Each structure stands twice: as structure tokens, then as C-alpha cells.
Amino acid sequence: MIRIVEDFKDVDTYLYLRDKVGWVKLDKSQASLALNNCQKIFTVFDDDKPIGMGRIVSDLAVISYIQDLIIVPEYQGKHIGSMLINKLIEYVESIRLPNTKMMLCLMCAKGREEFYKKHGFIERPTPDLGPGMIQYLV
């Protein structure tokens, strides 16, 4: 049975899910800080097996980020990612101040653009917005 658990902040689960999708390895202290300092976490389980996670990082007023939208490969393509992203968007809508706009951002993995477009996200650059940019500090 697929279920979503709110604010399950288990470092080993987070590291396991990141490893399953081949993401950059984090040490336990870094993973713990990431979980404890984000605004909201939703973890997806199939019975007791963790199969996905999504996190929100936010200032609670102007901007929120979807961070770490993870679905393990054997569960991809089964609408679990859509269920999770809808839960994340619903949460951000719930914290948005009345009569205000809040920007909801994410950094999309290459090749996943169509998935996010289906959920209302736009690609940058646009005529009005420059490209998203990052810097890795090592």
C-alpha cells in the first residue's frame, strides 16, 4: 500500500533514497542538517519500504523551493512522482499568505522537464526570466 508520511526525518532513509537514484553522496551530518532545516518533508512508502521523498525549503513568505524530489527507479512511471509533487504544491499553497504571490522553484534533472511542465512549471530562460544558475562550493 502506497502512503505518504509527513516530516519523517530519518537520515538513513534519506541517504538510501539519494543512493538509489545515483545522487551525490552526503555524509550523515550534512544529511541530518538538510532534513532538520527544511520546511517540510514528505516521504513515500510502499508498505514499510521507502520509495520516494520530496522536501520544501522556504522563507514562508516570498519563495519556496521543491528540493530532492526522489522516486526510486522501480517505482518511476507509476504516478507516484505526480502524487508527491501535488502534495508538495498543496503544502506550499497552504503556507502562502492570503492575497499574495509566492514563487515555487525547483532545479530539474536533465530529461525531466516534461514531467514538471505537466505540473505547471515553466522552463527558463523565458523572454522575461534569465536562466537558472548554480555554483558548487567544494
Provide the pLDDT for residue 100. Answer: 97
Q: What is the pLDDT of residues 74-113, one digit of tens each?
A: 999 999 999 999 999 999 999 999 999 999 999 998 899 9
Q: Splitting the chain (138 residues) into consecutive groups of 10 residues, what average pLDDT does each group show?
A: 97 98 96 97 98 98 96 97 98 97 93 95 93 89
Provide the pLDDT for residue 109. Answer: 86
Provide the pLDDT for residue 106. Answer: 96
Q: From residue 115, how far is each of 2, 22, 110, 111, 137 by CA, in Å? A: 20, 19, 11, 9, 29
Provide the pLDDT for residue 110. Answer: 87
Q: Is the pTM of this model over 0.85?
A: yes
Percent of the chain past pLDDT 70, that is, above it, reads 100
Give the closest residue to 57 by CA, choosing from 68, 45, 70: 68
